[in-house]
Structure 1
Amino acid sequence: MSRWLCTPLTETLGCRYPIVQTAMGWVADANLVIATTRAGGFGFLAGATIAADALEGEINKVIAATGGSNFGLNFHMFQENAAQCVDLAIRYRLRAVSYGRGPDKQTIARFKAAGVLCIPTVGALKHALKAVELGADMITIQGGEGGGHTGGVPSSILLPQVLAAVSVPVIAAGGYSTGRGLAGALAAGAVGIAMGTRFLMTRDSPTPSSTLVHYLKVNDPQRVRVTTAVDGMRHRMIENPFINRLEQAGPFGRLRIALRSAWKWKQQTGMSLSHLFGVLRQALKEDPGALSQTVMAANQPVLLQRSMIDGVPDEGILPSGQVAAAIGELKSCQQVIEEIAQEAERCLDALLARRSEHQPAERWRTPS
């Protein structure tokens, strides 16, 4: 590997290339992390969508296949089995954990005492500063181009802001899928890039082909847009009939769609007939729009599952970064990582050569 790609990320995480595979819900399973690790990247398991009784098995599967615990686990403190995620990461001495709405200072101290690196993802400068204050070892910044829940600040603005404000290593995410992107991030001062959509759109992804077709068909970044219709928060996803219906409906219409979805998948959402009528009675007294968001937020794991597991994308949601519009082919993780690394090296070599070519020749005077 060239000197360009040896960064604090590769040295600290112990991977060959400064490329991180993020923890996409229902996508970042053991097989995807194994493929990423074998290809020289660093992968995170999506602990938020792996069943509690299956999580330890997924961790052991990666360890058995890769020969170590040189990978990470993503989780959120508001999930029911958050304590289990913390305990497993420490017990198996995983290399890192990642999180958005993350653990408190005491929990972070437990990770650090066990040698588990803490790498939160942030979408705003103020969140980066708070993460460092709490003890983050590295920070992943995700620009607004990124998929799923995302902020509104583009990577081109957020990355320089955070680099100038913190002393810990910074990983760039949101809009990355090429070696040129990696070269640009490294030149700016980042220690590597993190990608979600690019790894989702690989042959090693567990995403059903019927869903991947929707991602491959997108050729306009504007069709991968932000909506707040699902749970009231900024959520970037590919436009589909379900989202269009939700956005076009009024407050009661949204509530009807939310309740219909919750009832249809009542086994997963826990919706009972009495609960359904209780929500309707509440909607007559309160704000039906706010209630629809509460119900839809509870439905969200099922809506993701419909797309990412069941292969029925028009009945679910399709979280995606805008970079999906720039990807037209499914490759293996190894191809993706190696091609990105090679292109980045060529770009940085060319940049160095350009500097040398334009450097003024020194002039020497002969002493008189």
Structure 2
Amino acid sequence: MKTRVTELLGIEHPVIQGAMAWVANASLAGAVSEAGGLGIIAAGAAPLAWIEEQVRIARSMTDRPIGVNVMLMNPEAPEVAKLLANLKVDVITTGAGSPSAYIDMWKEAGSKVVPVVASSALAARMERLGADAVVAEGCEAGGHIGELTTMALVPAVCDAVSIPVIAAGGIADGRTMAAAFALGAEGVQVGTRFLTVDECTVADAYKDRVIAAKDSDTIVTGRAGGHPVRGLKNAFSRNVRTLEADPSCDPRELEALYAGSLRRAVEGDVVRGSMMAGQSAGIVYERKTAREAISEMIGQAEALGMRSLEELAQANADRTPMQRGA
């Protein structure tokens, strides 16, 4: 399957693994890349030495492209940006801010730059800044989210830019992948599905909760503070929602509750931890290897018939600017 995304990133399948803090390490990223997708290491707020080590480990696992995600609100983002340029990382994705200060440096180092966006206006700005592609992430996704759904966001972004668009949010199987391509995407970013694969190093208890989840088992916290986060319902998330609804709640109490919550979940505390996961958890039914998950997704999408994903991607790439709404 060839699309502008596979050609741009040098990958076999147009499947990008989501950058999940405390989750997306070399073990997962290397396995996804070796299986033909694009594995992403989540730099988050990790020390520079850890990031460099994870890139080295992932590269020892595969000779295929590896990506790193930069959380731009991290106070050490400038140092992370320089490190990735020095390492000549194949693909750099970004979130939580604008990468404008680093794009030229990264591109001079030979990296492809792919920001995550939550609106068509932001996507158009990233194209003007020189981004190679964008990830349009709808609010069905796990972790930090925007307000627009994938169904509304992806076609709007595709109409706003001429660079390739990768759809994210609610995508976990071939049906949702095919739907994303029908909306104009030429690749998909998948997070929650990869939470449960064998190569993901989160605790089994976390994986089991994702697999057991129904379509209504996620909840959004943090809207009161302007930083909404989607995760699985548990004692932690319900407690947060209760405190957010209490006008007398001291913000410091919420901050204390959030501190270390994701790490607790990753290490197996599914009661007091923040189990970030998307709404697609409701269609994740079993564990597989990363290779099996990708093969199943691609096979199911292609089997849906009528027009192949490659044909859909080519049709979108061939549209004129007027047809894109420009």
* 1:189 CA drift (Å): 2.2
Write out aligned runs for 1:2-21 (5 A). 5-21=1-17
Equivalent-residue separation in structure 2 for 1:229 and 1:138 (angstroms): 28
Of the three residues 286, 302, 309, the one matched with 1:345 is: 302
* 1:104 CA drift (Å): 4.3
Task: Find the structure with the greater CA-based Rg.
Answer: 1
Provide the residue aligned with 1:267 in structure 2.
Answer: none
Contact kept, 8 Å, 1:227 with 1:234, in 2: the verdict is yes
Of the three residues 127, 131, 134, the one matched with 2:126 is: 131
Write out aligned runs for 1:316-327 (5 A). 316-327=273-284
Q: Deviations over 1:286-320 (max 9, x none)?
A: xx34x445x35xx6461100001x21121111111
Contact kept, 8 Å, 1:229 with 1:247, in 2: the verdict is no
Equivalent-residue separation in structure 1 for 2:271 and 2:130 (angstroms): 41
Provide the residue aligned with 1:303 in structure 2.
Answer: 261
Report the 3-state secondary structure (helix = DSSP H, G, I; strand = E; otherwise coil) of the residue aligned with 1:106. coil
Moved more, 21-30 or 175-184: 175-184
Contact kept, 8 Å, 2:121 with 2:160, in 1: the verdict is no
% identical aligned pairs: 30
Alignment of 1:213 onto 2:208? yes
Equivalent-residue separation in structure 2 for 1:208 and 1:251 (angstroms): 35
Report the 3-state secondary structure (helix = DSSP H, G, I; strand = E; otherwise coil) of the residue aligned with 2:304. helix
Matching residue's letter, 2:34? R
* 1:135 CA drift (Å): 2.1
Matching residue's letter, 2:139? G
Report the 3-state secondary structure (helix = DSSP H, G, I; strand = E; otherwise coil) of the residue aligned with 1:25. coil
Of the three residues 24, 38, 60, the one matched with 2:34 is: 38
Equivalent-residue separation in structure 1 for 2:259 and 2:186 (angstroms): 32
Contact kept, 8 Å, 2:151 with 2:183, in 1: the verdict is no
Equivalent-residue separation in structure 1 for 2:118 and 2:223 (angstroms): 20
Alignment of 1:76 onto 2:71? yes
Report the 3-state secondary structure (helix = DSSP H, G, I; strand = E; otherwise coil) of the residue aligned with 2:146. coil
Write out aligned runs for 1:145-294 (5 A). 145-219=140-214, 221-228=215-222, 231-249=225-243, 250-252=246-248, 254=249, 288-289=250-251, 291-293=252-254
* 1:227 CA drift (Å): 1.8
Q: Deviations over 1:298-352 (max 9, x none)?
A: x6461100001x211211111111000111101110000011111122224x347
Provide the residue aligned with 2:272 in structure 1.
Answer: 315
Moved more, 27-36 or 81-90: 81-90
- Considering only aligned residues, what root-mean-square deviation do their CA atoms show, in Å? 1.9
Equivalent-residue separation in structure 2 for 1:63 and 1:217 (angstroms): 33
Alignment of 1:65 onto 2:61? yes
Report the 3-state secondary structure (helix = DSSP H, G, I; strand = E; otherwise coil) of the residue aligned with 1:315. coil
Matching residue's letter, 1:135? G
Provide the residue aligned with 2:46 in structure 1.
Answer: 50
Matching residue's letter, 2:106? F
* 1:95 CA drift (Å): 1.3
Report the 3-state secondary structure (helix = DSSP H, G, I; strand = E; otherwise coil) of the residue aligned with 1:102. coil
Equivalent-residue separation in structure 2 for 1:153 and 1:292 (angstroms): 29
Provide the residue aligned with 2:324 in structure 1.
Answer: none
Structure 2: runs of 5+ lacking an equivalent: 309-326
* 1:25 CA drift (Å): 0.8
* 1:12 CA drift (Å): 1.0
* 1:228 CA drift (Å): 2.0
Instruction: Name the CA shift for 1:82/1:34 in 2 (closer, same or farther; >3 Å).
Output: same
Report the 3-state secondary structure (helix = DSSP H, G, I; strand = E; otherwise coil) of the residue aligned with 1:16. coil
More helix by share: 1
Report the 3-state secondary structure (helix = DSSP H, G, I; strand = E; otherwise coil) of the residue aligned with 2:295. helix
Provide the residue aligned with 2:313 in structure 1.
Answer: none
TM-score by length of 1: 0.78
Alignment size in residue pairs = 306
